[in-house]
Structure 1
């Protein structure tokens, strides 16, 4: 499914210009939320026994975007941040570092399945965006 990828493209914070970039990069809670979405998306795509929770993920992504808007970021600023290739690469690095910290690898589907099951069982933010098929 491409829904999480679409949500990530809609919500991953990556502003390309000026003060908006510096500001959005400093929004720790929003960026942590984007990491949750990125990790859940990768796990879902890598693991055949796990799928995503479409409505929950969309709601979560919309809440992140609303938080950015409430802090004064325009839709254009948010969209620019979403589409910045360098920021997407940084998010992948953060996601992969998270996987490594949990004993998994973005290159090993089985380890991501194990991590996904742990996240689901633990009721973590990542686990709440996933479900066992």
Structure 2
């Protein structure tokens, strides 16, 4: 009987292989949300007329971390993704593409302001993290 139970246990394990989690960079819900957070941060730093909704941003970050945890990622995996130099470089490149596609001139703070005001007006995720002074 014991041998039969062990055999069933082994078959159950083999029948249900543990699904490997994709890297967090491949989870659009998390990756795109962090990109939006970074874009909002750059806008508020570059535009003197816009500031951050800091409590909202902190809640947003905590919510993302909680969501990643619900998806099965450990704190160590989340921190490794956030702290990775390669991921920071990739996110900067994505942010640069975002700004370029929207006509932001990096040497002109007012172009960041125009984008920030547009994001605020359309109530985008980026705009929800910003406020006009």
Q: Please indicate, yes or no, whether the TM-score normalized by the shorter chain is above 0.5.
A: yes
1:43 corresponding residue in structure 2: 43
Aligned counterparts of 1:107 and 1:129: Cα–Cα separation in 2: 23
What is residue 27 of structure 2 aligned with on the other side?
Answer: 27
1:86 is paired with a residue whose SS is helix
Structure 1 residue ranges without an equivalent (≥5): 1-18
TM-score for the superposition, normalised by structure 1:
0.80
Residues 1:83 and 2:83 are matched in the alignment: yes
Q: Please tell me whether the aligned partners of residues 96 and 106 of structure 1 are also in contact (alpha carbons under 8 angstroms).
A: no
Paired residue secondary structure (1:131)? strand
Larger Rg: 2
RMSD: 1.4
Equivalent-residue separation in structure 2 for 1:43 and 1:30 (angstroms): 20
Shift of 1:23: 2.1
Match status 1:123 vs 2:101 = no
Are the counterparts in 2 of residues 68 and 78 from structure 1 also a CA contact under 8 Å?
yes
Secondary structure of the 1:79 match is helix
TM-score by length of 2: 0.80
Equivalenced residues, count: 114
- Unaligned regions of 5+ residues in structure 2, if any? 1-19
Residue of structure 2 in register with 1:99 after alignment: 99
